[in-house]
């Protein structure tokens, strides 16, 4: 029953117009568009039926495609893939029967519906002027698969077969995320054991710990690069990133034909997009710095009422405001990236990188301020602030207070204040950031959706109308209810959030964990991650719409993020060891000399170079260990060779026309002197 509904098209029309004649006109237009939609779908060999939605003004068109049609589409895609160089496509070409997994069916049908007519599709793209009443096209969850899937995930790290079935149901993009999660969690185990041991036995800011962590981060990045390639070969998506696809906004526009103008245009668009990003980065930096100053320094100086709680207030403000800024940027970034006019894969890449940069500032900038400004320069900044406050006093602003009361408000003894400046701040901050982040994420993933939907249902209660003459079975009724629930009340799945959470955690561990070898979650993070798989799946199943399956061969931008984090880990760890390790620390709290600053920078830059060398070596080793002799590489080679071999076989051997070389005249080619020459010696003597 369920499998018959492949996609759901949501069709809306206005119901709240004041003018009655306009309303009637609207209804007529909507009727025309709706009829056109159904006719188009049916004339294309699809089955389509409209059902009343959850509220008036919303129609849900259920679309089903016969297998014949899907097979045709699959065949077409394979041919086009192969023409564009995806070798894997050929292996399925030779099979007469195509066994399409659900995600593949949905993707094919979705592409068919939304592709422009020029590309052989139906052109039903939500939002374009021709279909302005079509607001969305969604696939439906498969409750039976979902149930078993979450259960299997809860049992532990998913096997390759479980990843396959996730991919079969949700497409390569989601499959790859769960594969990444599993690989990351597994690779975390040894380092968690190491970190915990180190925390209890070893020292802080240990060079040895830092080296191990950086090596681990580098190894993980390179290992994943190989692993995802192997998965792509296994799933047949290898090489698919090279396929040429237009982004949504390009489909409706004519392309500029002159190259240089086009290039310049692109560059300036990119420039504007980057400027927007920089603007938001600036906002976040300013917010972070203000919060930091309020929280860190006022805690040292302020003695007034509520001085115990005072430093917490700015942190709460920050925790509330930062996600808002990120949310606003997300909204703007989608538009500014559209504005860049990239093709699809570049579009996603650009968007991901930009959003992650902002998220990075929120996650790490506070710790960076503590580590590189507050701790080394704290004395100076404190002195400066103190001076400002004293000036404030002198100007008589607090003149209304008597001397003693004033004494109580601000710490006037600078020495006393500076004793509060200490090393533990970094550890505390790490702990707070990590735990806060994980709790916030867990709530956002699992709790928040319930709240939102409860609110939604209060504002927009579903219209319960039993039609007369309704001859549907209970099963069908249930299906319809589920469809309406999924389509109308759920939000879209944004895979960015899931990746961002994991990669940010990876960053805490790789870059900052020498501060607190236990916390950066190692074991904690580990505990968190074993739950992350089932909880992400649960969230997807229960609270979000099923995403349109996307065929990808790599986690793309995220791999680059991991690599950059590994590099940052090399640099930051070096600086942290220099600044804080007892053997290396030649800077006290107040003796931060220019020369030491230079030494520190010098060592960091050297570490950056050393990292490049180490990564080169790690890359070779990983390639040797996991790729060179792998089954997947062999399969890849074999596919190519088999293909070319069979091409050679089909190639009709045209007779080689031979131009006979002219025969040489004379004795030149017959008069052999060799044997005479050899025997001459033994004869002569």
Q: Which residues in 201-220 contact its own copies (CB under 8 A)? A: none
Q: Which residues in 19-48 contact its own copies (CB under 8 A)? A: 20, 23-24, 27-28, 30-31, 34-35, 38, 47
Q: Toward its own copies, which CB reaches closer, 259 or 458?
A: 259
| 591 near its own copies, judged by CB under 8 A | no
Please give the span between the terminal C-alpha atoms of the chain, in angstroms, as a whole number.
103
| 645 near its own copies, judged by CB under 8 A | yes
| 112 near its own copies, judged by CB under 8 A | no
How many chain residues are in contact with its own copies, going by CB under 8 A? 99
Beta strands in 303-422 (DSSP E): none
| 679 near its own copies, judged by CB under 8 A | yes
Out of 52, 215, 409, 559, which residue is the one contacting its own copies (CB under 8 A)? 52
Gap between the Cα atoms of 346 and 341, Å rounded: 9
Gap between the Cα atoms of 430 and 313, Å rounded: 18
Q: Which residues in 166-205 contact its own copies (CB under 8 A)? A: none
Q: Which residues in 54-73 contact its own copies (CB under 8 A)? A: 56-57, 59, 61-62, 64, 66-68, 71-72
Out of 285, 401, 472, 491, which residue is the one contacting its own copies (CB under 8 A)? 472
Minimum distance from CB of 677 to its own copies (Å)? 5
| 584 near its own copies, judged by CB under 8 A | no
| 616 near its own copies, judged by CB under 8 A | no
- C-beta atoms surrounding 387 within 10 Å: 11
Minimum distance from CB of 604 to its own copies (Å)? 9
User: Sheet harboring 58-64: ordered strands across?
Assistant: 47-52, 58-64, 7-12, 134-138
Strand-pairing partners, residue 9, are 61, 137
Gap between the Cα atoms of 122 and 60, Å rounded: 18
Q: Toward its own copies, which CB reaches closer, 306 or 666?
A: 666
| 466 near its own copies, judged by CB under 8 A | no
| 668 near its own copies, judged by CB under 8 A | yes
Map residue 57 onto helix, strand or coil.
coil
Name the segment binding its own copies (CB under 8 A); options: 217-225, 423-431, 448-456, 670-678.
670-678
DSSP state of 627: I
| 669 near its own copies, judged by CB under 8 A | yes
| 271 near its own copies, judged by CB under 8 A | no
| 97 near its own copies, judged by CB under 8 A | yes
Minimum distance from CB of 650 to its own copies (Å)? 4
User: Which is it for the CA torsion 551, 554, 557, 562, positive or negative?
Assistant: positive
Minimum distance from CB of 252 to its own copies (Å)? 25
Question: From the centroid of its chain, how far is CA 150?
Answer: 22
Strand 134-138 relative to strand 7-12: parallel, antiparallel, unpaired?
A: antiparallel
Map residue 56 onto helix, strand or coil.
coil
**Site of tokens 């007034």:** 304
**Site of tokens 């090393």:** 423
Gap between the Cα atoms of 666 and 649, Å rounded: 44
Q: Toward its own copies, which CB reaches closer, 201 or 613?
A: 613
Minimum distance from CB of 97 to its own copies (Å)? 5
DSSP symbols for 300-312: HHB-STTTTTTTH
Minimum distance from CB of 119 to its own copies (Å)? 17
Q: Toward its own copies, which CB reaches closer, 129 or 659?
A: 659
Out of 407, 476, 485, 494, which residue is the one contacting its own copies (CB under 8 A)? 476
| 264 near its own copies, judged by CB under 8 A | no
| 667 near its own copies, judged by CB under 8 A | yes
Gap between the Cα atoms of 651 and 471, Å rounded: 61
| 255 near its own copies, judged by CB under 8 A | no
Q: Toward its own copies, which CB reaches closer, 320 or 595?
A: 595
DSSP state of 665: P
| 420 near its own copies, judged by CB under 8 A | no
Out of 203, 263, 343, 413, which residue is the one contacting its own copies (CB under 8 A)? 263
**Which ranges constitute the DSSP H helices of 395-521?**
403-409, 414-418, 424-442, 448-459, 474-489, 495-507
CB 78 within 8 A of CB 626: no
Out of 118, 308, 400, 650, which residue is the one contacting its own copies (CB under 8 A)? 650
Minimum distance from CB of 4 to its own copies (Å)? 6
Q: Which helix (H) or strand (E) holds 329?
A: helix 312-340
Name the segment binding its own copies (CB under 8 A); options: 79-87, 412-420, 514-522, 540-548.
79-87
CB 375 within 8 A of CB 591: no
Tell me, residue by residue from 426 to 465, as one string, x for binding to its own copies by CB under 8 A and - for no binding. Answer: ----------------------------------------
Strand-pairing partners, residue 138, are 8
Q: Toward its own copies, which CB reaches closer, 49 or 397?
A: 49
| 601 near its own copies, judged by CB under 8 A | yes
CA-CA distances (angstroms) from residue 396 to 141, 387, 391, 413? Answer: 68, 14, 9, 19
The token pair that represents 386 in the structure block: 């103190």
Name the segment binding its own copies (CB under 8 A); options: 219-227, 247-255, 307-315, 602-610.
602-610
Contacts of 142 (CB under 8 A, 6+ apart): 2, 3, 102, 169
Map residue 49 onto helix, strand or coil.
strand
Name the segment binding its own copies (CB under 8 A); options: 155-163, 334-342, 535-543, 658-666.
658-666
């Amino acid at each position: 029953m369920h499998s018959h509904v492949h996609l759901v098209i949501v069709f809306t029309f206005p119901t709240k117009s004041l003018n009655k004649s306009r309303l009637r006109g609207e209804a007529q237009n909507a009727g025309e568009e709706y009829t056109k939609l159904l006719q188009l779908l049916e004339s294309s060999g699809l089955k389509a039926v409209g059902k009343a939605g959850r509220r008036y003004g919303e129609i849900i068109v259920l679309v089903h495609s016969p297998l014949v049609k899907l097979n045709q589409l699959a065949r077409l895609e394979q041919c086009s893939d192969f023409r564009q160089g995806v070798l894997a496509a050929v292996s399925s070409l030779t099979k007469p029967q195509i066994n399409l997994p659900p995600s593949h069916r949905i993707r094919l049908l979705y592409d068919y519906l939304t592709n422009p007519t020029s590309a052989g599709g139906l052109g039903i793209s939500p939002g374009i002027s021709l279909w302005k009443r079509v607001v969305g096209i969604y696939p439906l969850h498969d409750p039976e698969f979902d149930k078993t899937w979450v259960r299997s995930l809860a049992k532990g790290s998913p096997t390759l077969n479980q990843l396959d079935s996730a991919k079969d149901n949700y497409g390569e993009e989601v499959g790859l995320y769960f594969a990444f999660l599993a690989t990351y969690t597994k690779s975390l185990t040894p380092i968690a054991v190491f970190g915990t041991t180190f925390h209890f036995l070893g020292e802080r800011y240990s060079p040895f710990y830092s080296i191990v962590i950086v090596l681990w981060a580098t190894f993980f990045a390179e290992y994943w690069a190989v692993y995802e390639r192997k998965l792509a070969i296994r799933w047949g998506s290898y090489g698919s990133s090279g396929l040429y696809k237009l982004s949504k906004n390009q489909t409706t526009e004519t392309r500029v034909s002159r190259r240089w103008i086009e290039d310049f245009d692109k560059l300036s668009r990119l420039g504007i997009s980057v400027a927007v990003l920089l603007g938001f980065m600036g906002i976040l930096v300013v917010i972070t710095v203000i919060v930091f100053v309020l929280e860190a320094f006022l805690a040292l100086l302020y003695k007034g009422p509520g001085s115990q709680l005072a430093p917490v207030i700015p942190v709460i403000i920050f925790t509330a405001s930062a996600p808002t800024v990120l949310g606003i940027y997300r909204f703007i970034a989608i538009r500014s990236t559209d504005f860049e006019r990239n093709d699809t894969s570049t579009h996603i890449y650009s968007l991901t990188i930009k959003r992650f940069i902002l998220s990075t500032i929120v996650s790490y900038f506070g710790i960076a301020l503590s580590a590189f400004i507050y701790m080394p320069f704290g004395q100076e900044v404190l002195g400066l602030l103190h001076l400002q406050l004293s000036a404030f006093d002198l100007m008589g602003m607090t003149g209304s207070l008597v001397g003693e009361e004033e004494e109580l408000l601000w710490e006037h003894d600078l020495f006393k204040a500076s004793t509060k400046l200490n090393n533990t701040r970094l550890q505390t901050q790490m702990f707070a950031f990590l735990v806060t982040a994980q709790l916030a994420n867990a709530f956002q993933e699992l709790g928040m959706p319930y709240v939102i939907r409860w609110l939604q249902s209060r504002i927009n209660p579903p219209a319960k109308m039993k039609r007369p003459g309704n001859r549907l079975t209970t099963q069908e009724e249930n299906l319809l209810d589920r469809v309406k629930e999924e389509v109308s009340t759920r939000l879209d799945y944004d895979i960015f959030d899931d990746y961002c959470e994991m990669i940010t955690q990876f960053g805490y561990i790789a870059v900052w964990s020498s501060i607190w070898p236990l916390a950066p979650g190692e074991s904690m993070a580990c505990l968190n991650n074993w739950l992350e798989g089932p909880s992400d799946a649960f969230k997807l199943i229960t609270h979000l719409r099923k995403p349109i399956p996307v065929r990808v061969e790599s986690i793309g931008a995220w791999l680059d993020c991991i690599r950059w984090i590994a590099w940052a880990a090399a640099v930051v760890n070096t600086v942290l060891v220099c600044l804080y390790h007892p053997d290396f620390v030649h800077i006290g709290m107040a003796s931060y000399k220019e020369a030491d600053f230079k030494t520190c920078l010098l060592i960091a830059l050297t570490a950056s170079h050393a990292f490049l060398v180490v990564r080169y070596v790690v890359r070779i080793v990983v390639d040797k260990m996991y790729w060179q002799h792998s089954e997947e590489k062999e399969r890849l080679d074999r596919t190519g060779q088999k293909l070319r071999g069979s091409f050679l076989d089909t190639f009709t051997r045209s007779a080689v026309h031979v131009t006979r070389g002219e025969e040489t005249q004379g004795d030149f080619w017959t008069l052999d002197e060799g044997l005479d020459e050899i025997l001459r010696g033994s004869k002569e003597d």
